[in-house]
Each structure stands twice: as C-alpha cells, then as structure tokens.
Amino acid sequence: MKKINCIIVDDEPLAANVLEKYIQRLDHLNLVGKAENAVDAFNLINMENIDLMFLDIKMPQITGIEFMKSLNRPPAVIFTTAYRDFALEGFELAALDYLLKPISFERFIKAIGKVKIDDYQKPAPNSQTSSHTLTRDYIFVREDKRMKKVMLTDILFIESIKDYVKIISKESTVLTYLKMSYLEENLPNRQFIRVHKSFIINVEAIQRYTATEAEIEGTVIPIGRYYKQKVHQVLDDLAL
C-alpha cells in the first residue's frame, strides 16, 4: 500500500502531539513534519511531496483557511479546530473533513477513511517548470510576528544575511528567516536569478550591467565568478 505523506500544521504543541500519535498508529500514514505557522508549512509543502495536511484553523497572523486559499495546488486537507463556527467555510474549500478538538482516535480514523490520494496528487498538465516553482505572483513571509504579503513584481533583489534574507522591494525592505537556496529553487527562474552567493535579483529591475556587476535602483550588486556564465546567458538573451 502506498504511504500517505502527512504534515501537521498547528501552533498548539499538545494538539499536534495527539495527531502525531494517531498517525504513528496507522501503518499507511507517514508523518513528514510538523509546522507551527503558515511559513513553515509552506516550506514543507514545497520541499516535500505532501499528500495530506492536518490544518488548524485558529492560528496567529494567518488562519488555516487563509493559508489554504493561498495555495495553488494544496494537498488534501483535514481541518482541526476547537471552534465549531468555521465548519461551513472549511467544507466550502473542499476540505475532506473537519475535526473538533479534543479529537478522539475513532473520529480520526473516520476522517482518514475519506482520503483518496489519487484525486489530489495529479501533475499539472504540460508543466514545463520544476514542481516546486511558484506559480503565484506573490509570497507570504514572516516579519516579526506577522505574515507579510510581497508581490513578486515589486521585488528588486534579495540579499542573504547569515540565516536570514533581506527582501528589498519598491515599497519596503523585509528581513525574514529563510534560506537563500529555498528562494533560488522556488522563485520563477526566468524572472529571478542568483548572481552571487549573497544575492538574487529580479531581472526586470536591472537598469545596467557589466561582466561583473548589475545595478538596480542605484545599488550595485556583484556578479560572482561561479554564477557569471549562467547570469550572462540569461541577460544576453534579453539584449538587442
């Protein structure tokens, strides 16, 4: 039997631990990871092949319902919550089930019986890009304790600062905890290119460039030796 890859998205450790124990009791379920917020859940979904998400509705900054709406191709979803009021909206989003906390094992089993993975893990037709590449025109990133929406077209460049990245856009600068390699793999690779170990740039924002640097809004960004050939293949294709 094919294993069903699951994640738990819940900011309440006790509730998440209960679900983890239930998952471990079923041989055909495989827990890939747990996330306490939408950003961590988003990263898991884009890095792993996730079939099923146990998604808490009442979370800080961005609710489970808002998070599900933000995904282009969400995995199968079973909502979990302590509040009955969200049930209707959850089902309107085509959630498989709605589990009210505290969740009994018997009720958990009933929800799992509704999972038909073949209906949720179909490849996108005629896809020419990596399965991880973003197809939306925005991203959500954590800024302090809030989730901030950043439009991809507004991003000028991204700078790595140790374990954080600084996203410089037309209107603002956001410092958030993300890996540069994750952004490199997931941002549209014809619009965003990595030009240096510390920089990813938006090709459309470049004003001038040479063999060793690019200029964006008055900021001169170095083009690293390792990235030079790939960068100039992209830029030269855009030149007249």
- Quick: pLDDT tens for 84-122: 665 555 555 678 888 999 999 999 999 999 887 554 444
Asked if pLDDT for residue 13 goes beyond 90, the answer is yes
Domain containing residue 16: CATH number: 3.40.50.2300
pTM above threshold 0.95: no
Identify the CATH number of the domain in which residue 162 sits.
2.40.50.1020
Q: Are residues 107 and 171 in the same domain?
A: no
Q: Of the given ranges (59-63, 100-104, 203-207), which has the lowest mean pLDDT?
A: 59-63
Find the domain containing 14 and state its range. Answer: 4-119
What is the b/e burial string over 96-120, where b = at least 16 CB atoms within 10 angstroms of the residue's CB? bbbbebebeeeebeebbeebeeeeb
Place of tokens 């956001």: 174
Mark whether 71 and 101 lie in a shared domain.
yes
Mean pLDDT for 188-216 is 92
* pLDDT band per the 50, 70, 90 thresholds, residue 45: confident
Q: Check residue 31 and give its pLDDT.
A: 94
* Residue 168 forms part of a structural domain: yes
How large is the average pLDDT for residues 50-56? 93
Within a domain: residue 131?
no
pLDDT of the residue at 25: 95
Q: Are 154 and 169 in contact (CB under 8 A)?
A: yes
Buried b (16+ CB within 10 A) or exposed e, 131-159: eeebeeeebbbbbeeebeebebebbbbbb
Selection from 66, 67, 29 nearest residue 50 by Cα? 29
Are 104 and 151 contained in the same domain? no
How far are the Cα atoms of 69, 83, 118 from residue 76, in angstroms, in the given order?
A: 13, 21, 10
- Whether 227 is in a domain gets the answer yes
